[in-house]
Chains A and B, each alone.
Chain A
């Protein structure tokens, strides 16, 4: 009986083998047949011929599925329909899986996985395509065009940076946030140090333990349960202690020596202050376990008095408050520091920073048409369309100036989610573009963010608060742009480690240690704080951080050399 089985099995496996080889044969055939239409497409191209492109990008809950006014316009003009595939995980799983399966959409915004994709040979070198087909893109980058270069050894351009060129910050989305009602109740006190900030929250919470509808108020909530722990917990540590954003690192501006920024003694004091906030019950005890949704829900209920976050992170929740008309519970932003000796370095200059960029993959159906599409979006006409919308519909020319009609402006500020979804403004910024403060030939700004527009978009509460502090925008509260010298390496958070390098593994380990130890230190009893923090620093050392710092120092120095050419 056993023997019979064995016989049958060997027979079957022989058959199976034939089947498998047959399969792999047809596979290679499939590969060839997809290659043919690609070439034919490129030769007899017709601009208006409909084409659907797959596009992997960060999640956009306001995506309009090409049904918005701008979406329809683009579809008609270029024949291109964008089918986004949103990357909703917080790591790089989706992009890594793309690399693993070696299958890519046409366009991708690879973000932190860029190095991985370049390593895998997934991205096309855009330099020849731009030289030949995209004069507008080249014009927009101007003198910074060569900053797009991948590395010292590889002069290819893999991604078109999506950050605005020659950007001027007119408003600040960072800093420490306080509800307008808290400020008003305290008579608009000076908010410069963490002590001022703490006092304002404390005073309000003592008088108003609950909101008008009886829910308990929360002093300060941090978005520390997910990846935003970087934004809401650890980045503020260097802002509050007078260092600019260099990712997880602190770069010595003279020697370009890099250390992990937690290793600075100043930051230990910042975390000690958060520990103190927790000790006196002002910090939301759920700060480090709540999910992003819970955090937003809390903000939208109007009971969180203070935040330490970025506007883009809490903005959606704040929009919900605005839509309900609860303007008193929306937030004002301040450059708070640990004490008077520090200045907030949020706006220390970097020159143009190629960061998050869009790339064309090797699987793209028609790279030439794609670069032409992106070139159209980068043209003057395209940029005005993407930023302002369609003339007569979303803006009017009044005395040679573009003006947004009142009811649209109202919707834009108070119900931004609907505004974006119906107009499509802001959904199609997927090509090279100018930043705020750059004017086109007609003397109008390319973007809708300029001083007058920002002030017009402020709510009455914003205006009242700003007036009390003698400012016209929140940015006025920050040190002016020329207070600090420009960083020669741009910003270090744009420098990625090589994907499979040892330093990258150490970085991952260090991040994991940080995510565990920092909350632990903040939630510890004050007398245990130093013990936990010492342990944290020791864990970092054990993980090999010294080696990583050394490697990073080298990378910063290389960048300085490359960019000063």
Chain B
């Protein structure tokens, strides 16, 4: 029998390569099964990126992509020179960060408390009721918020007046500095129950033996929550958290568009709305695309940074 060490380096790599092909052949059905999804992702996520070249052109829909006038970085220069851009960037990041913090802490807290409940029926109904608002469209929610905060018989103002906290109705919707808060709170109301579902599921998956063991060791409720439940959902939490950091900059514009009004536009306008208004709505497709590219690049950076930090702290990685 020849010892393996005697093999020449070349022969080794051939063998390795053969083994790779052999393995691939063995798993050919698995590959074939995953192929459609890869194609799907390629078509819908990678082919459209081709359109990014319009950001470097002065795109006119009349002509084909190849007959356009090339303008280099002009669209980006214009974008970074517009002071409005920095206002909307600030608004976007502020609202999404607030949403991120509130949108994780409160649902986890809610799930923790719900997890401690004994009665199955009560637990289930609270859960169902709390996630129902998720299915209400933003148009309706915005209408509700407007009505509640109205000075003309709005419930919030009437309550505050009745409690003698204020003596004049407050124009909530006209105050720019309140806008971020209003968006965050209405988002919380709408999504709290929904966001907590996944944490509840993660909590249900924790091995009950851990709880039993800690009971024997004399741990109380809060000890158990702190040392078993929370670490038990850590991976779930981190995956979700890092993914939402990737969405920090692209928070959509539904809420802001529906809840906003001209008076608070300095606080309500977000990046997507800006792209719509100064890009598509004015037929400046190239400019809109430039904003889109900026969005994507920042999103990717954010995800990698978040993942890097997580990796350094816990030695685990999500991506």
Contacts and interface: CB of A to CB of B under 8 A. Distances in A.
Q: Do A and B come from one complex?
A: yes
A278 to B, nearest CB: 11
A41 B266 CA distance: 54
Nearest to A520: B263
B278 A229 contact: no
B213 interface: no
B84 A509 contact: yes
A427 B23 CA distance: 70
Nearest to A97: B280
Interface in A225-270: 225, 229
B61 A102 contact: yes
A4 B23 contact: yes
Nearest to A12: B38
Interface string A358-371: 00000000000000
Contacts of B285: 100
Interface residues of B, number: 36
B72 interface: no
B58 A12 contact: no
A393 B23 CA distance: 83
Contacts of B61: 99-100, 102, 119-122
Contacts of A97: 280
A121 B148 CA distance: 48
Contact of B282 (A225, A286, A499): A499
Given A4-B20, A119-B283, A512-B265, A286 B151 contact: yes
Interface in A2-59: 3-4, 7-9, 12-13, 15-16, 19-20, 23
A288 B262 contact: yes
A515 B262 contact: yes
A156 B20 CA distance: 66
Nearest to B288: A100
A120 B280 CA distance: 13
B283 A99 contact: yes
Contacts of A20: 42-43, 47
B245 interface: no
| Secondary structure dominating the interface of A | helix
Nearest to A291: B146
B224 interface: no
A499 B61 CA distance: 12
B306 to A, nearest CB: 24
A289 B283 CA distance: 28
B265 A515 contact: yes
A286 B152 contact: yes
Interface stretch (A65-73, A347-355, A500-508): A500-508
A324 interface: no
A515 B266 CA distance: 11
Nearest to B35: A12
A120 B283 CA distance: 9
B171 interface: yes
A91 B281 CA distance: 7
Interface in B230-252: none
A77 interface: no
A120 B281 contact: no
B277 interface: yes
25 contacts: A4-B23, A4-B24, A8-B31, A9-B38, A20-B47, A100-B285, A119-B62, A120-B60, A121-B62, A224-B262, A225-B262, A285-B174, A286-B150, A286-B152, A289-B174, A289-B261, A294-B146, A500-B283, A500-B284, A504-B282, A505-B284, A508-B282, A512-B277, A520-B263, A523-B263
Given A4-B20, A16-B43, A113-B283, 4 more contacts: A19-B39, A229-B262, A519-B262, A523-B174
Interface of A: 3-4, 7-9, 12-13, 15-16, 19-20, 23, 91-93, 96-97, 99-100, 102, 113, 116, 119-122, 216, 224-225, 229, 285-286, 288-289, 291, 294, 298, 499-500, 504-505, 508-509, 512, 515-516, 519-520, 523
Interface of B: 20, 23-24, 31, 35, 38-39, 42-43, 47, 58, 60-62, 84, 146, 150-152, 171, 173-174, 261-263, 265-266, 276-278, 280-285
Across chains A and B, which 3 residue pairs bring their CB atoms closest together, nearest first?
A515-B262, A120-B61, A121-B62
